[in-house]
Amino acid sequence: MVNRNAKVILKKDIKRRVFNGHPWVYDNEIEKIEGSFEDGDIVLVYTFANQFLGIGYINTKSKITVRLLSRKPVEINREFIKNRILQAIRNRYSITRENAYRVIFGEADGLPGLIVDKFDEYLTIQFNTLGINKLKNLILEVLVEIFSPAGIFERTEGNAVKKEGLEEFSGWIYGSGPELIPFEINGIKFLADTKGQKTGAFLDQRENARKLREFAHDKICLDCFSYTGNFGMHLLSGGAKHVTFVDYSERAIEVAKEIAKLNGFDKDRMDFVVANAFDYLKSSYEKSKKYDIVVLDPPSFAKSASSRDAAFKGYKEINYRSMKLLKSDGLLATASCTQVVSQSEFESILVDAAIDAKVLLRLIYRGGQPVDHPQVYNILETMYLKFLILQVSPINN
């Protein structure tokens, strides 16, 4: 599988990031490329001093021109893919006994561009780069051997995929299954929507939602950016008096209603609202609504450094609005899911919002990613999720 005729030679003074374990080689870090190749081929990478650095797949259409698969001169074949996936499973420890978890998390598991989630007896998969897409058949063979799934659903979509030169695709590529795939997290029934976002459901907040459930009993709650209701369902299962789910997607709200029915939650304990969360928070404040718990789990406000300022403003606004909606000593459960905004920056934004809202913030819980979304310190992009539960109290108490 390796094109040994093609040789990528790096510039002399590139950042140590690549030598210290990061798998990305940018176009401006390459001195020259020798030999013939096609985009998506697996090529050899050498330092300026002609020392072997690794093997990775190439795409000259991308600013990330090479993504390294191995630092050893190995063959990238079925055995290599199988070993990588088995190692990823071992690295998940006891979480593999659960009904749903992330099997492969791209670069963090040594398979850049690949995302695989397990939902009960089904797998959903994303091939986000041209190079990993060329390995699709081998990857599928190995996944079928290891998991014997009833079906594998592929969801390869988005601007990043188009930039890679890939055609978008969504559909069953092995076996078949339902449009809404049932699974369980923390004893709660959920549905992964094959027509929804990403792989159909977000598994990275499972531990944070379980923690928040501990505070739910008899509380009136607001779940903003709820998608299909992960946090809100945990609150209901923890005995919340009432939960309002808010999301801009009508389909997501309809799926959330189905999930609530599956779990037998009393419909009088919940409301479902299709609305822009920014607008809803503002209108709730104007109507003097008050909550015991407000959850903010927004999508990534910053995909790149160029959108940092807009992200900072967005985070500050929704958190400020939420602080004003909380009863005295109420809880704000707030998250950021972009690596572009660091933990310290996110917490600084919250402090600024609290100063403007004239409230005190008391940290109750600081969470992050579960073990199936591994964080590799050498690859900062893998460290994206911040989550805090904060008690919010008026300064003049």
Q: What's the confidence (pLDDT) of residue 227?
A: 97
> What are the pLDDT digits (tens) for 11-28?
998 989 999 999 999 999
Q: Distance between CA 220 and CA 379 in Å, rounded?
A: 40
Structural domains in the chain plus CATH codes? 2-70 (2.30.130.10), 78-179 (3.30.750.80), 204-394 (3.40.50.150)
Inter-residue long-range contacts of 81-89, CB under 8 Å, 24+ positions, other chains counted: 81/111, 81/135, 81/138, 81/139, 81/142, 82/142, 82/145, 82/146, 84/109, 84/110, 84/111, 85/109, 85/111, 85/142, 85/143, 85/146, 86/146, 89/146
pLDDT score of 345: 96
Task: Provide the pLDDT for residue 303.
Answer: 73
Q: For the residues 262-274, what does the mean pLDDT come to?
A: 98
Q: Which pLDDT band, with edges at 50, 70 and 90, does 42 fall under?
A: very high
Is 337 assigned a catalytic role?
yes
Mean pLDDT of the residues in the chain: 96
Provide the pLDDT for residue 147: 98
- Please compute the mean of the pLDDT values over residues 272-297 and round it to a whole number: 95
Backbone phi, then psi, for 282, in 5-degree steps?
Answer: -65, -45
Question: Is the CB of residue 297 less than 8 Å from the CB of residue 307?
Answer: no
* C-alpha span between 239 and 256 (Å, rounded): 18
Contact (CB, 8 A) for 66 and 43: yes
Would you give the DSSP letter of residue 379?
B
Q: What is the mean pLDDT of residues 315-340?
A: 96
182 Cβ neighbours under 8 A, 6+ residues apart: 119, 120, 189, 190, 191, 262
Per residue in 184-211, pLDDT tens? 999 999 999 999 998 999 999 999 999 9
**R_g (Cα) of the chain, nearest Å:** 23
Q: How confident is the model at residue 158 (pLDDT cuts 50, 70, 90)?
A: confident
Question: Could you write out the DSSP letters of every residue in 230-258?
Answer: HHHHHHHHTT-SEEEEEES-HHHHHHHHH
Residue 327's contacts (CB-CB under 8 Å, 6 or more residues apart) are: 290, 291, 292
pLDDT of residue 285: 86
The Cα 162–Cα 142 span in angstroms is 26
**Helix/strand/coil for 291:** strand
* Confidence class for position 34, pLDDT limits 50, 70, 90: very high
What Cα–Cα distance (Å) separates residue 149 from each residue in 133, 134, 152?
Answer: 20, 22, 7
- Which residue in 103, 114, 221, 337 is the catalytic one? 337
